[in-house]
Amino acid sequence: GQQLNQSPQSMFIQEGEDVSMNCTSSSIFNTWLWYKQDPGEGPVLLIALYKAGELTSNGRLTAQFGITRKDSFLNISASIPSDVGIYFCAGPAGDTDKLIFGTGTRLQVFP
Amino acid sequence: DTGVSQDPRHKITKRGQNVTFRCDPISEHNRLYWYRQTLGQGPEFLTYFQNEAQLEKSRLLSDRFSAERPKGSFSTLEIQRTEQGDSAMYLCASSPRSHTDTQYFGPGTRLTVL
């Protein structure tokens, strides 16, 4: 079945640093979604990507839909303490709308 | 603009009891999804509705699980004869007609089965 692998698994950075994480798949996705999840809460949608090569920003966050349609990248600039959480990539499985989620990247930001 | 809401946020029950969770989607969204998330994992798909029709069910959804969306608005997820393995976060999401794959999640219901 389709799987999404995220890297890195975790990151420990200092406040103010930029962050990059990525998500790869062995199969093609038509939509890439990036979510952030805080402990005990549901995932919050950050950015949605619908076309290969698309680059979309949301404040300090920028995400790209890979040209091969098998990967996506999320960058966070000038990190702040509230960026702490788990970041998931997700995409619809096959011809359905049920989402497959990546393995997650846990971000810790130190002051 | 109200998002997806779920009730209750937390539920503690004893093994063998039945539990029911409610989800209210974003009002103009016609699709509603249920996912389950265990500690350290990403959410896993359980089932989804388009209006009141249940279109797909995962193999994760055993016979003890049933979901309904009777009037195409809110949905309920019932677990009968709960087991300790049912302990998880149950997440509801909804999506708009324009992008049915773009799902907005609620805060979840944390179920603990003792």
Per-residue model confidence as pLDDT tens digits over A33-81: 999 999 999 999 999 999 999 999 999 999 999 999 999 999 999 999 9
Nearest CA in chain B to A94: B101
pLDDT the model gives residue A1: 64
pLDDT the model gives residue B1: 56
- Smallest Cα distance from A44 to chain B, Å: 7
Is pLDDT at B112 greater than 90 in this prediction? yes
- State residue B86 phi and psi, 5-degree precision: -80, -10
Instruction: Give the pLDDT confidence of B36-71 residue by residue, as tens digits.
Output: 999 989 999 999 999 999 999 998 888 999 999 998
A40 touches chain B (CB under 8 A): yes
pLDDT the model gives residue B29: 93
Taking a C-beta distance cutoff of 8 angstroms, is the pair A72, A63 a contact? yes
B34 touches chain A (CB under 8 A): no
B76 touches chain A (CB under 8 A): no
Mean pLDDT computed over every residue of chain A: 95
Strands (E) in chain A, as ranges, are 4-7, 10-14, 19-25, 32-37, 44-49, 55-58, 61-65, 71-76, 85-92, 99-101, 105-110
**Neighbour tally for A12: CB within 10 Å:** 10
Is pLDDT at B2 greater than 90 in this prediction? no
Tell me which chain B residues have a C-beta less than 8 angstroms from the C-beta of A45.
Answer: 102-105
B109 touches chain A (CB under 8 A): no
